[in-house]
Amino acid sequence: MRKPVRPARRLAAVPRYLFAELSRKEAEARARGVDVISFGIGDPDLPSPEPVVATLVEEARRPENHRYPDYDGLASFRAAMAGYYARRFGVELDPVREVMTVIGSKEGISHLVWAMAEPGDVVLVPDPAYPVYATQAILAGARPVTMPLVAERGFLPDLDRISPEDIERAKLMFVNYPNNPTGATAERADYERIVEFCRRHGIVVVSDLAYVEMTFDGYVAPSILEVEGARDVAVEFYSLSKPFNMTGWRIAAAVGNAEALGALGIVKTNTDSGQWNAIQRAAQTALTRAPEEFFARMNAVYRRRRDRMVEGLRAAGLAAEPPRGSFYLWVPVPQGYTDVSLAARLLEEAGVVVAPGSAYGAAGAGYVRFALTLDDSRLEEGLRRIRSLDLAHSGSGSAVR
């Protein structure tokens, strides 16, 4: 008799990955013949900038790019990222010590947790939040402690609610603005309070800047590194995935505190061999040669979708509000539903996928997230189906195929 395969016990504490589950449910519905409209996953439907694609094609043909990349990343890409920070945020970075190439921010964030946290440590994570922050803490043997984000505080963490015991054990704190999943935004003064807190208690604050260029209504998102003294405690991840519509390219940079980046480098050099040079050179083009109006054009599309979705969801009985950042709507569920039951009804009876808020943490219960990453015709069809369910009242309807 064959001895059973026994995965590591630590996996028992890790839930299935939210977006993998959404994809699975979507695939099951499609297999049943449902014409699925997905507002579930934040994957831009707009193309990467043409100069970026052209650079990749050119660089892919160069034999020197067919070999291993530099472990710390191409010097030219790191210099381009430093230049971008100087222009965009007024932050001067040393491209050798304070910039590191990572294979997308998800990889970099995961490996930074392993580099900094160990069993017995606390990792402070927002709730609701991108699930990777907490799951990587669990995998590293640390204990994730949640910082509830509530509407009454503008979905900003209440640092006064963190217990002295957790502060004493805390190694890392995660922040993410513009925020996924709530769409909330932070001002420089908010970062000043966070930096002061983390400096006082010896905590490394990790800023996930994934949606920094997706802003509306005159709001311009800051970097935490703009705050005086931030580089003493802060590491920031600037991903090209959402700003440049490059989710599949897997390219980002970790910037900021040199000591933390050095620790990250030890984990990375023992784990991966770096991102392909051709992709780094294409990303360098994005940072230096993408058309000046690229962000403006992209945000005009998302703003139009945002406003149409808010209008349509309100007409369907949902209390949607327009965010100033990200391409998400964080919408309270109507009376008579939970976030899970509403998401289930939308999928089963309308073929519409949304993300239930509780999948992002306990404080996300009672909300669903809509991603504005589908074209106008599918968005309108999705709204039509949602309106047909009369969500302001409980009940069931017929399935939409």
pLDDT of res. 400: 42
Local confidence band at 374 (pLDDT 50, 70, 90 cut-offs):
very high
Side-chain half-sphere CA neighbours of 262 within 13 A: 4
Region 127-148: mean pLDDT is 97
pLDDT of res. 31: 85
Q: Supply 195's token pair.
A: 């930096």
Q: Which of 229, 236, 284, 228 is nearest to 264 (CA)?
A: 236
Q: pLDDT at residue 235 above 50?
A: yes
Q: What are phi and psi of 122, to 5 degrees?
A: -110, 140
Q: pLDDT at residue 397 above 60?
A: no
Q: pLDDT at residue 395 above 60?
A: no
Q: What angle do CA 70, 75, 80 make, to 5 degrees?
A: 135
The CATH code for residues 9-47+293-388 is 3.90.1150.10
pLDDT of res. 28: 84
| Sequence-separated (6 or more) residues with CB below 8 Å from residue 268 | 71, 100, 102, 111, 274
Q: How far apart are CA 325 and CA 211, in angstroms?
A: 7
Q: Supply 38's token pair.
A: 């997905």
Q: pLDDT at residue 29 above 60?
A: yes
Q: Supply 280's token pair.
A: 């780094």
Could you tell me if 198 and 233 are in contact, meaning their C-beta atoms sit under 8 angstroms apart? yes
Side-chain half-sphere CA neighbours of 289 within 13 A: 13
What is the side-by-side strand order in the sheet with 143-148? Answer: 99-102, 252-256, 234-239, 204-208, 170-175, 122-127, 143-148
* Eight-class DSSP state of 9: G
pLDDT of res. 396: 44
Q: How far apart are CA 369 and CA 360, in angstroms?
A: 10
End-to-end CA distance of the chain: 47
Could you tell me if 357 and 368 are in contact, meaning their C-beta atoms sit under 8 angstroms apart? yes
Q: Which of 100, 133, 89, 110 is nearest to 257 (CA)?
A: 100
55-107: pLDDT as tens digits: 999 999 999 999 999 988 999 999 999 999 999 999 999 999 999 999 999 99
pLDDT of res. 19: 67
Q: How far apart are CA 261 and CA 204, in angstroms?
A: 11
Region 270-277: mean pLDDT is 96
CATH code 3.40.640.10 region(s) in the chain: 50-289
Q: Which residue has the higher pLDDT, 401 or 89?
A: 89
The CATH code for residues 50-289 is 3.40.640.10
Q: pLDDT at residue 368 above 80?
A: yes
Q: How far apart are CA 73 and CA 176, in angstroms?
A: 24
pLDDT of res. 398: 40
Q: Could you list the beta-strand ranges (E) of 149-279.
A: 170-175, 204-208, 234-239, 252-256
Average pLDDT of the residues of the chain: 94
Local confidence band at 392 (pLDDT 50, 70, 90 cut-offs):
confident
Q: Supply 5's token pair.
A: 């395969």
Q: pLDDT at residue 185 above 70?
A: yes
Alpha helices by DSSP H, 90-187: 105-116, 132-139, 164-169
Question: In whole angstroms, how far apart are CA 324 and each of 154, 209, 211, 397?
Answer: 12, 15, 11, 34
CATH code 3.90.1150.10 region(s) in the chain: 9-47+293-388
Q: Which of 282, 246, 284, 291 is nearest to 54 (CA)?
A: 282
Q: Using CB atoms within 10 A of its CB, is residue 13 exposed (0-12), middle (13-18) or buried (19+)?
A: exposed
